[in-house]
A = this chain, B = another copy of it.
Amino acid sequence: MCAMSGELTIDIGALKRNYKALDIVSTPDCETACVVKANAYGLGADKCAPALYEAGARSFFVATSEEGAALRSILPQDADIYVLGGLDFGDKQARAGIIPVLNSLAEIEQARKIGNNLPVALHFDTGMNRLGLGEDEAQALYQEPSILESLDVRLVISHFASSEELDNPGNKSQLSRFDEIIERTKPLFPNARYSIANSCGLFLGADHHFDMVRAGIALYGAHPTLLLQGDNPVEPVVSLQVPVLQIRTALKGTSAGYNSTYRFSEDTTLAVVSAGYADGLPRSLSNNGTLYWKGYALPIRGRVSMDAIICDLANVPKEEHPKRGDMIEVFGSSQTLESLATSAGTISHEIVTSLGARYKRVYKHT
């Protein structure tokens, strides 16, 4: 280990196995699509998307037309690439070979001007008020379906707001609204496929699967059923280790880090590691999070700095103390990504998508 920054290991084998494990859960005639937006949740779309294609995936979702264009250049032509943010704002180059997910009548109007049997997806909102045609726009569309005449509607989607909450009544209500949308639109686009489930939606039961499920965070190894029952059906994909810059002793009564937010009640040996909030380890881990060394918990003391975190070695027998250059686990075998995210007061999605540019990224093929 020579680099002074952390090492992020991405297990491409696990990613591919996760795809297959999720694909088995879905109903036999349901396609498992892959959400690879935000650079494949921060893990590298250029590496992850081709691996998922190899594992059998043929439909991919990104957020922006720029992400779509980048992915188009690396995936075979029989892979469909959908852009959730919708139609580009006028960049024809970004449009080539990617399928916009139209979210509003304004966008349909824009797509219509392009015409030419443009392949598109349609997004109907069923309960998030985020993207997709609202009830008002859906009704307007049903009244005048001719506005879609010059477009090739390939897919109709919606999105669950709380699918990780098994018993949330919103899931049923969204599902019944989606059923209604299917009923209203099926005659209009007989060739369109339908999809509402994300990673967690997949585990809500077969009646949530329709023609396609869109797997995201579960591909990358975060537990999709944490609030549901049963074992984790996916393997961790990503682990992070960061090197020790210095082992030091803090004297009783002195304090740690900016603004002295932690005071030592006795002489304490510390390991200072080379990673901080500029590397995506949030400042909210200050005095909250825990790193690990040989399975021993190292509580974070004081504020997380931009490039350094102070850890307490009190739980580690002196003869097993790490030394300068040793690699400390942020998440991996001793701590899950979800556990770190919980300590930071957020979700694993925010942690992975924020992982910094300084880490050395190692892709392993298990």
User: Interface of A with B (CB < 8 Å)?
Assistant: 1-5, 37-39, 41-42, 63-67, 83-86, 88-91, 94, 103-104, 106-107, 110, 125, 127-131, 134-137, 161-162, 165, 170, 243, 245-251, 254-260, 264, 270, 272, 274, 277-278, 280, 282-284, 301-302, 305-308, 310, 323-325, 345-347, 349-350, 353-354, 357-358
How close is A286's CB to chain B, nearest CB, in angstroms? 10
A110 and chain B: residue at smallest CB distance: B324
- With both beta carbons as reference points, the residue of chain B lying nearest to A100 in the complex is identified as B4
Q: Are B302 and A257 in contact (CB under 8 A)?
A: no
Contact B161 A130 (CB under 8 A): no
A310 pairs with B130, CB closer than 8 A: yes
The residue that A2 contacts in the complex, of B89, B130, B247, B354, with Cβ under 8 A, is: B89
Docked Cα-Cα span, A1 to B94, in Å, equals: 13
CB-based contact B258/A128 at 8 Å: yes
8 further A-B pairs in the complex, CB-CB below 8 A; given A41-B306, A134-B249, A162-B259? A85-B307, A89-B325, A103-B246, A129-B302, A129-B310, A131-B272, A165-B259, A306-B350
Complex contact B243–A4 (CB within 8 A): no
Instruction: Give which listed residue, B135, B324, B345, B354, contacts A354 with CB less than 8 A.
Output: B354
Cα-based distance from A248 to B123 in the complex (angstroms): 13
Closest to A357 in B: B39
In the bound complex, residues from chain B placing their C-beta under 8 Å from that of A283 are 346-347, 350
Quick check: B256 and A129 within 8 Å, CB to CB? yes
In the assembled complex, 12 residue pairs joining A and B whose CB atoms fall closer than 8 Å, in A order, are A63-B274, A89-B325, A106-B246, A106-B323, A110-B324, A128-B302, A129-B250, A130-B305, A131-B246, A277-B349, A283-B346, A283-B347
Q: Is the CB of A247 within 8 A of B128?
A: no
Taking a contact as CB atoms under 8 Å apart, the answer to whether B86 and A246 are in contact is yes
Q: Of A129, A136, A243, which is in contact with the most chain B CB atoms at under 10 Å from its CB? A: A129
Residue from the list B125, B136, B277, B284 in contact with A353, Cβ < 8 A: B277
A353 touching B306 in the complex, CB below 8 Å, given contacts A2-B91, A38-B278, A66-B5:
yes
Alpha-carbon separation in the docked complex, A194 to B75 (Å): 55
Q: Which residues of B contact A254 (CB under 8 A)?
A: 127, 129
Rounded to whole Å, the gap between the CB of A7 and the closest CB of chain B is 12
Q: Are A248 and B134 in contact (CB under 8 A)?
A: yes
Question: Would you call B89 and A307 a contact (CB within 8 A)?
Answer: no
Q: A278 contacts B353, CB within 8 Å? A: yes
Does A256 contact B306, Cβ atoms closer than 8 Å?
no
The complex places the Cα of A94 from the Cα of B85 at a distance, in Å, of: 41
Q: Give the shortest distance, in Å, between A269 (CB) and chain B (any CB).
A: 11
Are the C-beta atoms of A274 and B347 separated by less than 8 Å? no
Q: How far is the CB of A151 from chain B (nearest CB, A)?
A: 17
Q: Which residue of chain B has its CB nearest to the CB of A37?
A: B307
A130, B248: Cα distance in complex, Å: 8
Partner of A278, one of B103, B250, B354: B354
A215 to B3 CA separation, bound complex (whole angstroms): 26
